[in-house]
Structure 1
């Protein structure tokens, strides 16, 4: 658990293990909030073990999911199955 202070002395509590933030943006959208990113950067700066930032994003927003959904369709006219003799 990490307590993060904003520029106007507002505070949020971030728990990276449970993937929660008191602003609730991370739980609602699946995208880490600025508080979560700050907590991860702080752990990296202090040389503490931290999770990979890509693991913190919901699977819906990852490039591999986009690739599965949209890249399999080819653009253009389909080829004929029949071959000319």
Structure 2
């Protein structure tokens, strides 16, 4: 079975980005690659695992912000009206 090149392997095993925006951008690019149907099967699995890690990272960041907002608003989330 062919193995992933060192470059492909290192990209998928890279540490998580420092910011939510960085993780979201990488996740969006990964989704495009996965949906293209052009990735070999072994890279699909690695890509899926990387995507799951990025998604968990983004969810954690969003939860942390939501928790901070709850503290600022006295433990109540208020509806967002967008204005």
| TM-score in terms of structure 2 length | 0.36
For CA contacts below 8 A with separation 6 or more, give which structure has more relative contact order: 2
| Larger-Rg structure | 1
Larger strand proportion of the pair: 1
Larger helix proportion of the pair: 2
| TM-score in terms of structure 1 length | 0.36
